[in-house]
Structure 1
Amino acid sequence: MVQLLKNARLAAGVVSHHLIDDPVVLFLQLSRRLPAAVLPLAKRLCRWAPKDSISAAVLFAALAAGDEADVERRLNLAAEARIGIEQARRLADIALAAHLPSLADRFLARAGGARHLRPARARRLWYAGAVSEAVAVLTGPHAGQNAGEARQQARLAAEVAILTDASPVLAPRAYAPVPGRILHLLTNSLPHTASGYAQRSHSTLLAQQEAGWEVLAVTRLGYPVQVGKIFAQATDTVDGVRYHRLLPASLASTIDARLQQQAEELLAVALKFRPSVLQTTTHYVNGLVVRAVAEALGIPWVYEVRGQLADTWAATRGPEARDSERYRSFNLREAEVMGAADLVLTLGNAMKTNIAAAGIPEDKVIIAPNAVGGDFLKAPHDTAQARRELGLDEHGQMIGTVSSLVPYEGIEDLIAAFALLAPDFPNLRLLIVGDGSAKPSLQTLAQRSGYPERIIFPGRVPRSLAARYHQALDVFVVPRKDLEVTRSVTPLKPVEAMACSRPVVASDLPALAEIVKDGVTGLLAQPGDPASFAAALRTILTAPGSAAAMGAAGRERVLRERTWAANAAALAEELKKLGVSI
């Protein structure tokens, strides 16, 4: 009961901050966590509303439903209509949440004199990566006239400080580590988050534990209450792996103070657990915290670079974002953290090349690829058996993916490729497993494809069933967009599909070409080109013998090169060179 009360107070504080800082984003986050019945209601409201309605309620419903075309159409109507300054300011925030910055600019130009205009302008600049300018808007003449603006200014100023040079500071402590103990700091984890990040973390922890290490994982301050898990406990145990939560009754109001708070709490856990090494993952805020704790204890630490999050952010903004202050500062901070770590892990050769380009010595960087273990090491079921177990139709052919449903994954191109194939393959179905911000818009595209009854969205599925969903497919598809982040970052799911003896059709990008050997374990297609994907899929679907050979070759390659146990053994060897006894 005490923990629940603390969680409730913590959640109320998080909601309060978002209500003032960015209420539209808060609405979107809440809408994605509400029951599934909310989505049909939002779609119904959009259908019932007049086609020329530009009310906030209708626009919010269209956002929640993921109908991007309807949001943009209504905002364009609003941009030509006679609207008041307050409505213009509200519409600017909605346009920004819909990733329509040019429309946001048009509304802001008509919002002169509106209340809360400075915060809206600051949000627009922050969106573009002009972080110092965003702070300046809130510190100019007449700024800070209310508590909300003052708090937003303090929050953004702290973000800029962390982007540049601020870090947690801890005093050195007398300390005696226990050999064989490793402490991880994670952004999120099972059982509350089922993302690829959480799956990789758990597999890494499990492999280290099975190799004889004593492991403990600590998640970021406030998680998982921050993502709506009000009933979270202080600890979770999954497959024998312990996850410790840092759940104070309240969080410091700015990021620099929260990172200091987190460092102090992580230090307290470390002093009790007494690890001989610390390990954390991108992005740099995790590294800043772990560096402070490692320096206070005098032990080495490992930084695992799983993505290039500056590029992930830029991918939703457009090419100009790569010239922004935020982008440059983010990458400089990442380079600083990588340079400070005793050892850097990363996912593949493309990412290692980028890390070396940032000035990090290559001999300090080792590759720990996305890998498999557990059920994926067992002989895979055939498609009919897997489908029976999942309650899917055993007959016909099925293509699909198991993925986070976010824009850069390019799932809309997979739907378009399926629509090209569907007339010639009447028994072909498309399975899209997963959840994410793009799911509502993808479901809308499926409804408009002409074949909605043949496109299946099971949603997020239990981890124990992941292998079965891979095995239910005839072909696994990775239609990622051609972006800087996707050219470098290797995903986990195609590796799991190959372990299940399934051929993979993937975008022809450097990071994916490291996984899929064209013509041997699958086929590569042109990113962003549904026709190219349809052609590759047609080749495999019409040649079952070739498909089986590709699947077998993929499984053999994964079992030889990509297991979590091998990753754990490789890390242990590198840590021995640092004097860490495992």
Structure 2
Amino acid sequence: MSPLYRNLRLTCRTVIENLADDPFHFILQTSRRLPARLVIPAARRFLGGTPKGSIAVPVLVAELLSGNQTGLQRRLELALQRKPLPRSAVKLADIALSAQQPGYADRLLAGSSGRKGHPAVLARRRWYSGSVSDAIAALAGEEEPAGGRKGQRQRLESEAELLRGWTPKLRSAPMVPVPDRVLHLLTNSLPHTRSGYAQRSHSILLAQKEAGWEPLAVTRVGYPVMVGKIAARGEDVVDGVTYRRLLPAKLAPTPTGRLQQQAEELLQLALEFRPSVIHTTTHYVNGLVARAVANALGIPWVYEVRGQLADTWASTRGPEAIKSERYTLFQEREADLMQSADLVVTLGEAMKKNIMAARVPEEKIIIAPNAVGGEYLREPLDLADARIQLGLDPDDQIIGTVSSLVPYEGLDDLIDAFTLLAPVFPRLKLLIVGSGVSLPSLKEQARRSGLASRITFTGLVTPNLARAYHQALDVFVVPRKDLDVTRSVTPLKPVEAMASGRPVVASDLPALAEIVHNGHTGLLAPADDPAALADVVAPLLQNAVLRDALGDAGRQRVLATRTWAANAAATVRSYQAIAEDQSRRAR
């Protein structure tokens, strides 16, 4: 079977499964992989040709794709007033759920019980809020549910198995490891995904290679074909780092089946590569596979905790989510994996405290903070030169950020703060670099502010351009919301901004306070308060000497304490220690 034909089969299977399982969510996710400059205007043009009172399903889908939450909510309210036919109500509830509007979904589902599609949407609604058992029960009314509902029930039952303790089963396969070889299991990677996760992974791999180790990276089964990269090959080499892909001819139909498939394929690859250590990252599905393969081979494994992913999930659901069945089970799985790993790596002190609270011994934890290397170690460009390179006006004042555009980043607060600053600083511009689920709603917010001509969204950019944008800003802003996840997880981009010599203003949260020392390497502002954020940014816009002093101090601190080379040195020392310990125990 040719690689392209195999990839087409995997893609078609993925599309069919997702359309049957959660059609409106799949449409939304697919739209986000297309250029926003095409999707959003097209959706708005479509809406411009429809009646303002329309509650037709295609019209609400267009509102969803445009990012206009206000418009979507208005039409959902109209639908509730008009009491649509039950079959339409089910579809509208599904759209509301895809838009993270569970209250509207509940009201629409209340009047459509027993109608076609109702159990599937009800199950999604319960799963959304973390009610694992109730979600499965919603689909258990018929012995042989048809089509998509059968696949949906199998998937949810499999997801529940994962949460409740399932693990891959592998036969023992002892091998003689080669010293100084490490196998990394990753969720995604360059060159197909350009996220902070992928960039951190690549920086770690490069630094370990430069430290004398031989790293090999392997991504999850089906990636990157399952995210639309149909022409993907079985191997990519980026900056001399090898990324291997697990692309079988056919994927198992359930999450547990796919993880079993992934574990078996990773074991075979590991027997060829013969690593002395396996290293993987959150979340727990990666840990399950890495642990199973390491145990089969008789070598140690490392769990790198890059985020509090149960808290990330809960941050979009409201405070009641932390009491849900899914949240509790998710945390238990993470704790089990951290406890069973030979070494736990994490990003900062706040995360370390959370890990220790899960009964992981302190001596088993090391901190490898988000850091810089490569071009960030070079002297940054002058502000004017960076702007000329990017086609920006050197005489403007520009604040902004380089970030994933997701709700907890608080970029809506940044836009609100900008609207307060703009009348005072007539040459002030706002620059938001990056992409993510919040892009459509942020663009809509910018349009409603009346200042859209002074707000620029670049979309996703290359790492080289991201570095130039860092250097082109007068002030780099990190306006994260005050949530459990943001209080503990330290992001990468402000570290890169400090390395670029730019002053950073960040939300006053424990994880960010580890990076930005208030008044010395940057400034902290109260979270969730656009007016307070504007008050902290304004003096920096008025004082170039202060901007330069904070920028210089931030760069010196990063170069002294946060480099990938220093991280690699500490990590490989720990690799050697756990490999030697494993060897002694095996004798």
TM range (shorter): over 0.9
Contact 1:131 1:160 in 2 (8 A): yes
Contact 2:300 2:579 in 1 (8 A): no
Contact 1:481 1:528 in 2 (8 A): yes
* Deviation for aligned residue 1:47: 2.8
Show CA shifts across 1:36-75 (max 9, x none). 4222110122233221111111111111111111111111
Look up the SS of the partner of 1:392 in the other structure. Answer: coil
Following the alignment from structure 1 to structure 2, what is the Cα–Cα distance between the partners of residues 443 and 365? 41
Show CA shifts across 1:3-28 (max 9, x none). 11101000111111111110011110
Contact 1:66 1:440 in 2 (8 A): yes
Following the alignment from structure 1 to structure 2, what is the Cα–Cα distance between the partners of residues 104 and 144? 26
* Deviation for aligned residue 1:389: 1.0
Counterpart residue number, 2:470: 470
Look up the SS of the partner of 2:351 in the other structure. Answer: helix
User: Structure 1 207/580 Cα, relative in aligned 2: closer, same or farther at 3 Å?
Assistant: farther
Look up the SS of the partner of 2:553 in the other structure. Answer: helix
Alignment-mate amino acid for residue 267 of structure 1: L
Contact 2:277 2:579 in 1 (8 A): no
Alignment of 1:302-341 (within 5 A): 302-341=302-341
- Is 1:78 aligned to 2:50, yes or no? no
Counterpart residue number, 1:147: 147
* Deviation for aligned residue 1:463: 1.3
Counterpart residue number, 1:61: 62
Look up the SS of the partner of 2:226 in the other structure. Answer: helix
Counterpart residue number, 1:31: 31
Alignment of 1:62-141 (within 5 A): 62-140=63-141
Aligned alpha-carbon RMSD (Å): 1.2
Contact 2:347 2:489 in 1 (8 A): yes
* Deviation for aligned residue 1:576: 2.5
Contact 1:143 1:149 in 2 (8 A): no
Alignment of 1:267-416 (within 5 A): 267-416=267-416
Between 571-580 and 380-389, the greater mean CA deviation after superposition: 571-580
Alignment-mate amino acid for residue 26 of structure 2: L
* Deviation for aligned residue 1:528: 1.1
Contact 1:235 1:245 in 2 (8 A): yes
Following the alignment from structure 1 to structure 2, what is the Cα–Cα distance between the partners of residues 152 and 145? 10
Show CA shifts across 1:151-177 (max 9, x none). 211110110000011000111113011
Counterpart residue number, 2:217: 217
- Is 1:266 aligned to 2:266, yes or no? yes
Contact 1:277 1:580 in 2 (8 A): no
Look up the SS of the partner of 1:152 in the other structure. Answer: helix
Look up the SS of the partner of 1:37 in the other structure. Answer: helix
Contact 1:95 1:103 in 2 (8 A): yes
Alignment-mate amino acid for residue 61 of structure 1: A
* Deviation for aligned residue 1:393: 1.6
Following the alignment from structure 1 to structure 2, what is the Cα–Cα distance between the partners of residues 144 and 539? 66
Look up the SS of the partner of 1:431 in the other structure. Answer: strand
Contact 2:433 2:466 in 1 (8 A): no
* Deviation for aligned residue 1:512: 0.4
User: Structure 1 86/285 Cα, relative in aligned 2: closer, same or farther at 3 Å?
Assistant: same
Following the alignment from structure 1 to structure 2, what is the Cα–Cα distance between the partners of residues 404 and 304? 21
Following the alignment from structure 2 to structure 1, what is the Cα–Cα distance between the partners of residues 267 and 464? 34
Contact 1:179 1:580 in 2 (8 A): no
Counterpart residue number, 2:585: none
Alignment-mate amino acid for residue 360 of structure 1: V
Alignment-mate amino acid for residue 64 of structure 2: L
Between 279-288 and 445-454, the greater mean CA deviation after superposition: 445-454
Between 469-478 and 106-115, the greater mean CA deviation after superposition: 106-115
Alignment-mate amino acid for residue 98 of structure 1: A
Counterpart residue number, 2:509: 509
* Deviation for aligned residue 1:580: 4.5
Counterpart residue number, 2:561: 561
* Deviation for aligned residue 1:118: 1.0
List, as ranges, runs of 4+ consecutive aligned residues in structure 1 with deviation greater than 4 Å.
Answer: none
Following the alignment from structure 1 to structure 2, what is the Cα–Cα distance between the partners of residues 579 and 96? 47
5+ residue gaps, structure 2, are: 582-587
Contact 1:280 1:287 in 2 (8 A): yes
Counterpart residue number, 2:208: 208
**Number of corresponding residues:** 581
Between 284-293 and 226-235, the greater mean CA deviation after superposition: 226-235
Counterpart residue number, 1:46: 47
Following the alignment from structure 2 to structure 1, what is the Cα–Cα distance between the partners of residues 523 and 49? 44
Following the alignment from structure 2 to structure 1, what is the Cα–Cα distance between the partners of residues 175 and 115? 57
Contact 1:348 1:514 in 2 (8 A): yes
Show CA shifts across 1:56-112 (max 9, x none). 111111111111111111111111113101001101111111111111111111112
Following the alignment from structure 2 to structure 1, what is the Cα–Cα distance between the partners of residues 106 and 429? 42
Show CA shifts across 1:340-395 (max 9, x none). 11000000000000000011111111100000001100000111101111122222
Contact 1:138 1:144 in 2 (8 A): no
* Deviation for aligned residue 1:143: 4.6
TM-score by length of 1: 0.98
Q: What percent identity do the matched residue pairs reach?
A: 60
Counterpart residue number, 2:520: 520
Contact 2:168 2:288 in 1 (8 A): yes
Show CA shifts across 1:521-565 (max 9, x none). 111111111111101110111111111110011001000000000
* Deviation for aligned residue 1:483: 0.6
Contact 1:276 1:580 in 2 (8 A): no
Counterpart residue number, 1:8: 8
Following the alignment from structure 1 to structure 2, what is the Cα–Cα distance between the partners of residues 348 and 461? 27
Following the alignment from structure 1 to structure 2, what is the Cα–Cα distance between the partners of residues 416 and 143? 52
Following the alignment from structure 2 to structure 1, what is the Cα–Cα distance between the partners of residues 224 and 274? 24
Alignment-mate amino acid for residue 17 of structure 2: H
Look up the SS of the partner of 1:189 in the other structure. Answer: coil
Contact 1:498 1:504 in 2 (8 A): yes
Show CA shifts across 1:108-161 (max 9, x none). 111123112111111111011000111112123x35331322221111011000
Following the alignment from structure 2 to structure 1, what is the Cα–Cα distance between the partners of residues 190 and 181? 21
Following the alignment from structure 2 to structure 1, what is the Cα–Cα distance between the partners of residues 72 and 89? 15
Alignment-mate amino acid for residue 425 of structure 1: F
Counterpart residue number, 1:426: 426
* Deviation for aligned residue 1:249: 2.1
Contact 1:401 1:433 in 2 (8 A): yes
5+ residue gaps, structure 1, are: none
Look up the SS of the partner of 1:331 in the other structure. Answer: helix
Counterpart residue number, 1:197: 197
Following the alignment from structure 1 to structure 2, what is the Cα–Cα distance between the partners of residues 80 and 456? 38
Look up the SS of the partner of 1:578 in the other structure. Answer: helix
